[in-house]
Chain A
Amino acid sequence: MMAVTVLAIVLQRNLFSVVVLGGVYSFLMATVLVALDAVDVAMTEASVGAGISTVLLLGALYLCGGEEAKPLQRPWLPLVVSVLIVAALVYGTFGLPAFSDPQAPIHVHVVPRYLHQALEETGVPNVVTAVLASYRGYDTLGETTVVFTAGIGVIALLRRLRRRKADA
Chain B
Amino acid sequence: MLRVVGKLLIPFMLLFALYVQFHGDFGPGGGFQAGVIAAAAIIFYGLIFGLPAARRVAPDAVVEAMVALGVLIYAGVGVAGILLGGNYLDYFVLDRDPVAGQHRGIFWVEIGVAVTVSGVMLKVFYMFAGRGRAEPGE
Interface residues of A (CB under 8 A from B): 39-40, 42-44, 47-48, 51-52, 55-56, 59-60, 63, 120-126, 128-130, 132-134, 137-138, 140-141, 144-145, 147-148, 150-152, 154-155, 158, 162
Interface band, chain B = 35 or more
Cα separation A112 to B125 with both chains bound (whole Å):
42
A141-B120 contact given A59-B129, A152-B67, CB 8 Å threshold: no
Cα separation A138 to B132 with both chains bound (whole Å):
40
**Smallest CB-CB separation from B72: which chain A residue?**
A148
- A56 near B112 (CB under 8 angstroms)? no
Interface residues of B (CB under 8 A from A): 20, 24-30, 32-33, 36-37, 39-40, 43, 47, 64, 67-68, 70-71, 74-75, 78, 89, 91, 99-100, 102-103, 105-106, 109-110, 112-113, 116-117, 119-121, 123-125, 127-129, 131-132, 135, 138
Residues of chain A with a CB closer than 8 A to B129's CB: 59
Residues of chain A with a CB closer than 8 A to B119's CB: 151
Q: Name the contact of A43 in the complex, choosing from B33, B39, B71, B135 (C-beta under 8 A).
A: B33
Measured between C-beta atoms, what is the minimum distance from A104 to chain B in Å?
A: 24
Measured between C-beta atoms, what is the minimum distance from A53 to chain B in Å?
A: 10
- B105 near A148 (CB under 8 angstroms)? no
Measured between C-beta atoms, what is the minimum distance from B11 to chain A in Å?
A: 18
Cα separation A16 to B39 with both chains bound (whole Å):
23
- B26 near A63 (CB under 8 angstroms)? no
- B89 near A128 (CB under 8 angstroms)? no
- B127 near A155 (CB under 8 angstroms)? yes
Residues of chain B with a CB closer than 8 A to A132's CB: 30
**Smallest CB-CB separation from B35: which chain A residue?**
A147
- B113 near A140 (CB under 8 angstroms)? yes
Measured between C-beta atoms, what is the minimum distance from B31 to chain A in Å?
A: 8
Q: Which 9 A-B residue pairs are closest in the complex by CB-CB distance?
A: A151-B120, A39-B28, A59-B128, A122-B102, A123-B99, A133-B106, A137-B89, A158-B127, A47-B36
